């Protein structure tokens, strides 16, 4: 096999093997006895950010973090002459980038003693697919419950509230506080049920090309006027970002929930900050379960805060309904966010570490990627 990622066309078997290796959507490299990368498929070139020819001049240790378990794994496979899998290996480095969590499959190459093949599976992608499916299931589990609650609770509640209001007129002043209490509490339950009702709404949403920056600016204005009055909110936008094909009101709901959570996490610490970012990342593609199709989610919107972070034990269930650590929280905010993003064909994930919590929304690009005047007008209309 040649080292430049191309096979000699004279040998059809070689050419076929190359075609197969290059078709694999995971980085695959072969490391020889001396540790040199003697083969890299196209995905591996992208993963290491270098051509196969360049890679072949160096040992694999040049490209991965010092002391990485991958080196020990390669030695182990050479010694035992048997394949090994290792999960969640961190290969983050300035060269490979942050959050490079991978699953590794290392196997000996029988025909080339001392050589091993390493297959990398980028973990974040696997996690994203996993989580995406879990969030959809979580939202679905609320759906039935929500429509039942709407029927069985809201109607009797309006009767109770009406009765309390009638009583209010005839009771003595001291007892009026009690009738008010009944009204306030029924109102609270009605508003909770109203929030849940959104989950039972299965109608397709009206979507138009929306300018995400106008959505974020609106959310920022609402936040600064209320719950984030004393918190610094900064933007880091990619101004050339194409429109997102979405329902504007629902996007506002998504980012209001995320920014509100961020503000609540930051609390009143003096250096508290919320950052809103947008970026175009064409590289992010996801497999769709049950099909060969790959969808591209190039639009990235993040809400970042420097609060204490999400408790680790909460992370796996973060987007499930009724998960809350707040005394007055309903735990419906993130479940709603996950449902809306899922309905739009996007995904959401959370990264939380060292006083930096990122909620990252990935969305497909608009069908009509160019923002025409009408779309801008409709998406920047009067603030609601």
Ligand X SMILES: Nc1ncnc2c1ncn2[C@@H]1O[C@H](COP(=O)(O)OP(=O)(O)OP(=O)(O)O)[C@@H](O)[C@H]1O
Stretch that binds ligand X, among 33-41, 51-59, 64-72, 307-315 (CB under 6 A): 307-315
Which tokens go with 336? 């709603």
Nearer to Mg ion, 261 or 379 (CB): 261
Nearer to ligand X, 331 or 364 (CB): 331
- Taking the mean position of all CA atoms in its chain, how far away is CA 326? 23
- Among residues 108, 321, 333, 346, the one that binds Mg ion under rule CB under 5 A: 333
DSSP assignment string, 159-177 = HHHHHHHHHHHHS-HHHHH
Residue nearest ligand X (C-beta atom)? 333
Tell me the C-alpha to C-alpha distance, in Å, between residue 317 and each of 298, 322, 345.
26, 10, 21
Q: Does 261 bind Mg ion (CB under 5 A)?
A: yes
User: 326 contacts which partner out of ligand X, Mg ion, none, CB within 5 to 8 A by kind?
Assistant: ligand X
Nearer to Mg ion, 179 or 261 (CB): 261
CB of 59 vs ligand X, minimal distance in Å: 41
User: 262 contacts which partner out of Mg ion, ligand X, none, CB within 5 to 8 A by kind?
Assistant: ligand X
Helix ranges (DSSP H) in 25-83: 42-48, 52-55, 69-80
User: 365 contacts which partner out of ligand X, Mg ion, none, CB within 5 to 8 A by kind?
Assistant: none
Stretch that binds Mg ion, among 202-210, 259-267, 268-276, 336-344 (CB under 5 A): 259-267
- Among residues 65, 272, 333, 342, the one that binds ligand X under rule CB under 6 A: 333
Stretch that binds ligand X, among 135-143, 235-243, 275-283, 309-317 (CB under 6 A): 309-317
Q: Does 346 bind ligand X (CB under 6 A)?
A: no
Q: Does 309 bind ligand X (CB under 6 A)?
A: yes
Quick one: DSSP state of residue 381? S
Q: Does 325 bind ligand X (CB under 6 A)?
A: yes
Nearest partner of 349 among 329, 319, 323, 307, judged by Cα: 319
91 CB burial (10 A radius; 0-12, 13-18, 19+) = buried
Stretch that binds ligand X, among 126-134, 223-231, 304-312, 370-378 (CB under 6 A): 304-312
User: 307 contacts which partner out of ligand X, Mg ion, none, CB within 5 to 8 A by kind?
Assistant: ligand X
Q: Does 329 bind ligand X (CB under 6 A)?
A: yes
CA distance 21 to 5: 9
User: 102 contacts which partner out of Mg ion, ligand X, none, CB within 5 to 8 A by kind?
Assistant: none
Q: Does 261 bind ligand X (CB under 6 A)?
A: yes
Stretch that binds ligand X, among 3-11, 149-157, 222-230, 330-338 (CB under 6 A): 330-338
Nearest partner of 382 among 241, 214, 242, 213, judged by Cα: 214
Locate the DSSP E strands across 242-373: 244-246, 273-280, 285-287, 294-296, 299-305, 347-353, 356-363
Which tokens go with 130? 């996993």
Nearer to ligand X, 108 or 307 (CB): 307
Place of tokens 């025909």: 111
Count interface residues toward Mg ion (CB under 5 A).
2
- Among residues 60, 215, 251, 332, the one that binds ligand X under rule CB under 6 A: 332
Which residues does 47 contact at the CB level (< 8 Å), separation at least 6? 27, 96, 120, 122
CB of 281 vs Mg ion, minimal distance in Å: 26
- Among residues 35, 331, 345, 364, the one that binds ligand X under rule CB under 6 A: 331
Torsion on CA atoms 353, 102, 284, 50, rounded to nearest 10:
110
Which residues does 32 contact at the CB level (< 8 Å), separation at least 6? 38, 112, 114, 115
CB of 228 vs Mg ion, minimal distance in Å: 13
DSSP assignment string, 105-170 = EEEE-TTSTT-EEEEEEEHHHHHHHHHHHHHHHHHHHHHHHHHHHHHHHHHHHHHHHHHHHHHHHH
Nearest partner of 281 among 304, 300, 301, 294, judged by Cα: 300
Q: Does 342 bind Mg ion (CB under 5 A)?
A: no
Nearer to ligand X, 209 or 321 (CB): 321
Q: Does 310 bind ligand X (CB under 6 A)?
A: yes
Q: Is the dihedral of CA 256, 262, 265, 269 positive or negative?
A: negative
The binding site for Mg ion (CB under 5 A) comprises: 261, 333
The binding site for ligand X (CB under 6 A) comprises: 257, 261-262, 265, 305, 307, 309-310, 314, 318, 323-326, 329-335, 357
């Amino acid at each position: 096999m040649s080292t430049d990622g191309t096979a000699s066309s004279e040998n059809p078997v070689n050419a076929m093997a190359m075609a197969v290796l290059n078709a694999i959507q995971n980085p695959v490299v072969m490391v020889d006895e001396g540790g040199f990368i003697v083969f890299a498929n196209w995905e591996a070139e992208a993963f290491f950010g270098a051509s196969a020819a360049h890679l072949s001049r160096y040992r694999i240790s040049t490209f991965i973090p010092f002391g990485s378990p991958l080196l020990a794994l390669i030695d182990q496979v050479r010694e035992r002459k048997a394949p090994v899998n290792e999960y969640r290996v961190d290969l983050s480095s300035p060269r490979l980038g942050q959050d490079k969590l991978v699953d590794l499959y290392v196997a000996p190459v029988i025909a080339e003693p001392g050589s091993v093949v390493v297959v990398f599976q980028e973990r974040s992608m696997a996690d994203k697919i996993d989580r995406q499916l879990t969030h959809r299931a979580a939202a679905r589990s609320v759906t039935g419950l929500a429509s039942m609650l709407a029927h069985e609770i809201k109607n009797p509640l309006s009767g109770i509230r009406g009765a309390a209001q009638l009583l209010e007129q005839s009771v003595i002043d001291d007892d009026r506080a009690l009738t008010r209490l009944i009204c306030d509490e029924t109102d609270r339950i009605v508003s909770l049920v109203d929030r849940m009702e959104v989950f039972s709404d299965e109608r397709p949403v009206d979507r138009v090309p929306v300018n995400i920056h106008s959505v974020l600016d609106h959310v920022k204005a609402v936040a600064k006027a209320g719950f984030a009055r004393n918190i610094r909110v900064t933007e880091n936008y990619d101004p050339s970002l194409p429109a997102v094909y979405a329902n504007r009101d629902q996007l506002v709901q998504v980012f209001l929930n995320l920014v509100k959570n961020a503000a609540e996490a930051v609390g009143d610490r003096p250096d508290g900050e919320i950052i809103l970012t947008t970026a175009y990342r064409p590289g992010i593609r996801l497999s769709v379960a049950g099909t060969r199709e790959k969808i591209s989610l190039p639009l990235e919107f993040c809400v970042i805060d420097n609060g204490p972070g999400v408790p680790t034990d909460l992370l796996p269930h973060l987007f499930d309904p009724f998960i809350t650590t707040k005394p007055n929280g309903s735990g419906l905010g993130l479940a709603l966010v996950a449902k809306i993003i899922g309905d739009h064909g996007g995904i959401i994930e959370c990264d939380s570490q060292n006083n930096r919590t990122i909620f990252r929304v990935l969305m497909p690009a608009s069908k009509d990627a160019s923002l025409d005047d009408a779309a801008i007008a409709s998406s920047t209309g009067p603030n609601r």
